[in-house]
A and B are shown apart, each in its own frame.
Chain A
Amino acid sequence: MSIFIQLLINGLLLGGAYAIISISLTLIFGVVRVVNFAHGELLMVGLYATWLITSHTGLHPYATVIPVAILLFAIGALMQRFVIQPLLTAEPHIQIFATVGVSTALLNLALMMFGADVRTVDAKVGAAAFQVGPISIVTGQLVTFVVAIIVAVGVYLLLQRTFVGRGFRALAQNRSAAALMGVNVNKTYVLVFGLGAALLGLAATLLAVQYPVFPTVGQYFVLTAFVVVVLGGLGSLPGAVVGSLFIGLIDSLAGYYVGSDLKEVVYFVIFLVILTLRPTGLFGLGRGSE
């Protein structure tokens, strides 16, 4: 029984990590309407940046959050401005090609610069675990989970309560109408893409404590995040959070009961079942199949 509870807790905490990545993915998709296949590679860039800074300065990964987030914001904004923006009116499969190109380029750039070696960030604080009765909790996972909740609430408030956020939502609903109401479409998209990428920078500093860094590390997280986002409903913020927790639980339970090398098989079956039965996802807006 205590194993089961341990698995549940591990799963929920793991869900926190997925939640930050999924929120940033769904934010970009929801507003800009572009599926960013380079999302994983942006996360990977964040992880390498964290590793570089910590190994050169000896800072704790958590302390690198500001420079890493700014760096990622800049990369995201540049990508939107110079790759996505010229293709806004192109057919969706052309946009996907472009993000796939960025993904391939970044991944191989990392391979060129750092090789295929697995790097680890040396951080004792985050990797350690503490005991609550029979349950052991990894500090880094708990921190990630708490930050994920803060991010979810923060993004929610940003979207609902601020002028900028209303602009985001207006654009998500109707690009031309929002433009007619004075929302600067291109600037807002650059801002959204930058923000989404900056969230990945934040996620990277949190994950660097627990996971090794290598060129294809992003693909592992982002494939899962794509499943999460489809499960929750593309473009839905609550969907991304609930979907993350759910997939976190599946990950943890399937990893124990099915086998850790097959847990992705379980996700994928869920992914197909959801698409078959409820294509708009759990929190889809009815037009989520768009």
Chain B
Amino acid sequence: MFPRLTHPRAYVGGIALLMLLLIPLAVNSPFIYHLAVQVCVFGALATAWNIVGGYAGQLSLGHAVFYAIGSYSATMLVIHFGMSPWLGMFGGAVIAVIAALVIAYPTLRLRGPFFALATIAFLEVCRLLVVHFQSFTGGSAGLNVPLNIGVEWMIFREKWAYLLIAFGFLAFTLWVSWIIRYSRFGFYLIAVREREDAARAVGVNAVRVKISAAVISAALTSMLGSFHAMYLTFIEPSAAFSLELSIQIAMFALIGGLGTVAGPLLGTLLVLPAAELSRGWLSALGNGTHGFVYGVVLVIVVLFFPRGLVGHLGGKALALIDRLPGARRFESAAPTIVNSTSPASSSSGVRGKPILIAEGLHKRFGGLKATDDVSLTLHEGEILGVIGPNGAGKTTVFNQLSGFIEPDAGTVKVCQPDGQWRTPTSPENFAQAGVGRTFQIVQPFSGLSVLENIMLGAFMHTRNIAAAESVAREVAELTDLTPLLNASARELTVGGMKRLEVARALATRPRVLLLDEVLAGLNPTDVARAIEMIRRIRGTGVSVLMIEHLMQATMALSDRIIVLNAGQLLREGKPADVVNDPAVIEAYLGKGYLDAQGT
């Protein structure tokens, strides 16, 4: 829950942060106090924005709406009900959470720009509503906060009191952001941002994760808005419900580094004082100069420094900091976990009870019957090969077996350890029901290390980072990835990436593993390695269903083979019987070949 304060990154960061409080207290000038309060508030706003905009990668361009909800709720509760803003800000946060749900629920189920559009539209609508209901909200003229001086009203004569509170808010927001970044939730957010499909395949409920990020961010933003209203003692719709303010907040986070803990604050520290100091002479040049410079800076940063201060310079800075005392080279606090995977590893080749049954699957794409009445059964401890010529519908069947495509008719059911059958409906449901899958086109989370990639799978059964890491190390051993654990996933070879796909799926501790062409495109050494790996996996008691083009490998590995052709199940049987079947040969090589052979 807390950073370890003996680590140089923690104490250097903490001391730097404290400077934001100590320097103004030492200087004791009203302007410096004001600047420091603004840096704290905007730094915290950018940090809160970053939870949804950076970690989740969902651009909220109307984020000021949550700020304004907080400002207005707290102020109106003071005016109309005499409620202290210390309580009122929670009222604002509740309203902001509801607003975030209204925006996020319809739009975050979709991919694309819908969330960004909805936030802008919502901002505009709230502004209009506030202007319209003027008897209650003060309309476009705005509201004055009653000046009841006292701690309970968050109104003070001394500027330093505001700074203390603002600093507290900033520290709290940073702490929340830090917890999220290094928790399972943070890993899930990054996974969903990078590759939603692959995240769902390891059991992540992508929509819920994104909505949670939006809700947390909205609540924090609203509380900051409540405080800021008390500080400014005056609010008006055009300043609070402002697109410009929203963009400014997002821009601070971008300049500092999206998706990093320290970035948004650093971006604010870099830009805000410069903007405040130059405001005077820039506005002397004409109305709008200020905004024009902001726009141009934004474009330049996006084009040339899209990773921000932290992204471009963070590595070097951290390397310097890590040379200070207290940084241990490698941390292996992970307890060695007892091998929890194998449910009484059945001896290979022996057919157990059915574990996955598909019945009467149908799927049409327009006029094409991609899957036409396919039924199949996978048994415990079995390796089942699925072959068929290109376009036979192998991948479509595969996607129905893992929830990525919903069949038009038919069911897929999975046997649970307690003997009950479950019919999952979504990819994450399938993963949770014990069906792991790989992707034919590999889907590594390229921003994460190999270890972290595998940990994502392990998180399905544990929230604990150390436990997930230990599962990941175990799986890496099984998939020949141990020497590569600290490499970045994008540095792997094709063979490595394919094994990473398998490892990530295995880390969810599946009882059924669906492999989609994991041998395709590998060199002979890697193929041999992968075949051994699949045997080892089956040895741990996992049932395997594999789609494969490489005939020899399929023949060697499979206990049973299913042949698909034109969406239909053509043959099913032992490898040797199936490949000599005339119908199968015809499907692969055409009727002419059969005739020429004289059969």
- CA–CA, A102 and B302, complex, Å: 11
Contact across chains for B131 and A106 when beta carbons are under 8 A apart: no
Residues of B within 8 A of A112 (CB): 285-289, 292
The distance from the CB of B597 to the nearest CB of chain A, in whole angstroms, is 37
What string of 1s and 0s marks CB contacts (under 8 Å) between A34-53 and chain B?
Answer: 01010000000000000000
What string of 1s and 0s marks CB contacts (under 8 Å) between B219-251 and chain A?
Answer: 000000000000000000000000110010011
| A84-92, A120-128, A143-151, A200-208 - the one binding chain B | A84-92
Contact across chains for B254 and A105 when beta carbons are under 8 A apart: no
The distance from the CB of B121 to the nearest CB of chain A, in whole angstroms, is 5
Residues of A within 8 A of B61 (CB): 37, 96, 100
B contact residues, total (Cβ < 8 Å): 52
A: contact size bracket:
35 or more
Q: Which of A102, A219, A261 contacts B295 (CB 8 A)?
A: A102
Q: Is A160 an interface residue (CB 8 A)?
A: no
- CA–CA, A268 and B126, complex, Å: 10
Contact across chains for B303 and A83 when beta carbons are under 8 A apart: yes
Contact across chains for A98 and B110 when beta carbons are under 8 A apart: no
What string of 1s and 0s marks CB contacts (under 8 Å) between B276-293 and chain A?
Answer: 000000000111111110
Q: A37-B61, A112-B289, A230-B117 are in contact. Are A97 and B250 (CB under 8 A)?
A: yes
Q: Which residue of B lies closest to A267 (CB)?
A: B121
Contact across chains for B110 and A264 when beta carbons are under 8 A apart: no
Q: Is A64 an interface residue (CB 8 A)?
A: no
Residues of A within 8 A of B298 (CB): 97-98, 100-101, 104-105
Contact across chains for B247 and A100 when beta carbons are under 8 A apart: yes
- CA–CA, A279 and B207, complex, Å: 15
Residues of A within 8 A of B112 (CB): 35, 92, 234, 289-290
Q: Which residue of B lies closest to A215 (CB)?
A: B288
Q: Is A56 an interface residue (CB 8 A)?
A: no
Q: Is B550 an interface residue (CB 8 A)?
A: no
- CA–CA, A37 and B125, complex, Å: 18
What string of 1s and 0s marks CB contacts (under 8 Å) between B109-123 and chain A?
Answer: 111111011101110
Q: A104-B247, A289-B112 are in contact. Are A223 and B295 (CB under 8 A)?
A: no
Q: Is A177 an interface residue (CB 8 A)?
A: no
Residues of B within 8 A of A116 (CB): 287
Residues of A within 8 A of B287 (CB): 111-112, 115-116
Q: A97-B302, A104-B298 are in contact. Are A265 and B110 (CB under 8 A)?
A: no
Q: Which residue of B lies closest to A34 (CB)?
A: B113
Q: Is B23 an interface residue (CB 8 A)?
A: no
Q: Is A236 an interface residue (CB 8 A)?
A: no
For window 259-313 of B, CB contacts with A under 8 Å fall at: 285-292, 294-299, 302-303, 306
Residues of A within 8 A of B132 (CB): 259, 261-262
Interface of B is mostly: helix
- CA–CA, A227 and B113, complex, Å: 12
Residues of A within 8 A of B302 (CB): 87, 94, 97-98, 101
| A7-15, A162-170, A242-250, A270-278 - the one binding chain B | A270-278
For window 58-114 of B, CB contacts with A under 8 Å fall at: 58-59, 61, 102-103, 105-107, 109-114
Q: Is A80 an interface residue (CB 8 A)?
A: no
Q: Which residue of B lies closest to A279 (CB)?
A: B110
Q: Is B129 an interface residue (CB 8 A)?
A: yes
- CA–CA, A272 and B108, complex, Å: 12
- CA–CA, A94 and B54, complex, Å: 11
Contact across chains for A105 and B296 when beta carbons are under 8 A apart: yes
Residues of B within 8 A of A189 (CB): none
Contact across chains for A97 and B288 when beta carbons are under 8 A apart: no
Q: Is B517 an interface residue (CB 8 A)?
A: no
Contact across chains for A265 and B125 when beta carbons are under 8 A apart: yes
Residues of B within 8 A of A105 (CB): 291-292, 294-296, 298-299
Q: Is B57 an interface residue (CB 8 A)?
A: yes
Contact across chains for B306 and A93 when beta carbons are under 8 A apart: no
The distance from the CB of B402 to the nearest CB of chain A, in whole angstroms, is 20
Q: Which of A83, A108, A259, A261 contacts B292 (CB 8 A)?
A: A108
The distance from the CB of B171 to the nearest CB of chain A, in whole angstroms, is 27
Q: A223-B121, A275-B107 are in contact. Are A111 and B128 (CB under 8 A)?
A: no
The distance from the CB of A12 to the nearest CB of chain B, in whole angstroms, is 23
Q: Is B434 an interface residue (CB 8 A)?
A: no
Contact across chains for A96 and B116 when beta carbons are under 8 A apart: yes
Residues of B within 8 A of A93 (CB): 53, 57-59, 116, 258
Q: Is B474 an interface residue (CB 8 A)?
A: no
Contact across chains for A230 and B128 when beta carbons are under 8 A apart: no
- CA–CA, A92 and B102, complex, Å: 23
Residues of B within 8 A of A109 (CB): 288, 292
- CA–CA, A160 and B559, complex, Å: 53
Q: Is A110 an interface residue (CB 8 A)?
A: yes
The distance from the CB of B215 to the nearest CB of chain A, in whole angstroms, is 17
Contact across chains for B113 and A35 when beta carbons are under 8 A apart: yes
Contact across chains for B295 and A104 when beta carbons are under 8 A apart: yes
Contact across chains for A98 and B303 when beta carbons are under 8 A apart: yes
What string of 1s and 0s marks CB contacts (under 8 Å) between B480-522 and chain A?
Answer: 0000000000000000000000000000000000000000000
- CA–CA, A109 and B294, complex, Å: 11
- CA–CA, A227 and B125, complex, Å: 13
Scoring A86, A93, A223, A265 by chain B CB atoms within 10 A of each residue's CB, the highest score goes to A93
Contact across chains for A97 and B59 when beta carbons are under 8 A apart: yes
Contact across chains for B102 and A272 when beta carbons are under 8 A apart: yes
For window 22-68 of A, CB contacts with B under 8 Å fall at: 35, 37
Q: Is B124 an interface residue (CB 8 A)?
A: yes
The distance from the CB of B525 to the nearest CB of chain A, in whole angstroms, is 30
Other A-B contacts than A97-B302, A105-B291, A275-B106, 16 sampled, CB-CB below 8 A, are A87-B302, A87-B303, A93-B58, A97-B250, A98-B303, A103-B295, A104-B247, A104-B292, A108-B295, A109-B292, A111-B291, A219-B243, A261-B128, A262-B129, A279-B114, A289-B111
Q: What is A's interface to B at a CB cutoff of 8 Å? A: 35, 37, 83, 86-87, 90-94, 96-98, 100-112, 115-116, 215, 219, 223, 226-227, 230, 234, 259, 261-262, 264-265, 267-268, 271-272, 275-276, 279, 289-290
Q: Which 7 A-B pairs have the closest CB atoms?
A: A105-B295, A111-B288, A101-B298, A104-B295, A108-B291, A101-B299, A108-B292
Q: List 30 A-B contacts (CB under 8 A).
A: A37-B116, A87-B302, A90-B306, A93-B53, A93-B258, A96-B113, A97-B250, A97-B251, A98-B303, A100-B61, A100-B247, A100-B298, A101-B298, A104-B298, A108-B290, A108-B294, A109-B288, A111-B286, A111-B287, A111-B292, A112-B287, A112-B288, A112-B292, A234-B112, A261-B131, A262-B128, A262-B129, A262-B132, A279-B114, A290-B112
